[in-house]
Amino acid sequence: MLMRTDPFQEFDRIAQRLVGASGTWSRPAAMAMDAYRDGDEYVIAFDLPGVDPDAIDVDVERNMLTVKAERRPQPRAEAVQMELSERPLGVFSRQVMLADTLDVENIRGDYDAGVLTLRIPIAERAKPRKVAISAGEGTRKEIRG
């Protein structure tokens, strides 16, 4: 149901994690994700810990799903002296090419505990169905199509 479009995207994501690069609007960092089928839905879960739900943007154009998010620094008092800062800040983005067998008009999203979960129904035309065929005079038989 999911089609990979850029074979080097995973290498970029790993390199960004190794060097600790923060994403920018012109070069956003990738976000980790899982994708699986659950019955008649396709589920994609994106890790976005610490991201405000208002800073998440999900778009679908044709069959290209784009998720963008921004993790901003937490406001601190002027007297605070930062000792260690390892949590990545900046812009994160991920594009996923969806198969034609998904109903992109009915995507549902939920954000809980730092995980954005998108549920995409399988299109009716892609589901298995019975097809009636005739097998001679007055006899009908159904087969799966």
Q: Which residue has the higher pLDDT, 111 or 72?
A: 111
State the Cα–Cα distance between residues 14 and 30, nearest whole angstrom: 9
105: its two tokens? 């008009």
Provide, rounded to the nearest whole percent, the portion of the chain with pLDDT above 70. 75
Mean pLDDT on 10-38:
71
Look at residue 98 in the predicted model and tell me its pLDDT.
94
Say yes or no to pLDDT of 16 above 60.
Answer: no
Q: Which residue has the higher pLDDT, 138 or 129?
A: 129
Instruction: With cut-offs at 50, 70 and 90, classify the pLDDT of residue 104.
Output: very high
Enumerate the β-bridge partners of residue 102: 122
Say yes or no to pLDDT of 20 above 60.
Answer: no
Q: Are 94 and 46 in contact (CB under 8 A)?
A: yes
- What does the pLDDT look like over 58-98, one tens digit per residue? 999 989 999 999 988 888 888 888 888 777 788 999 999 99
Look at residue 44 in the predicted model and tell me its pLDDT.
97
Amino acid, single-letter form, for residue 90 = G
- What does the pLDDT look like over 28-50, one tens digit per residue? 778 899 999 999 999 999 999 98
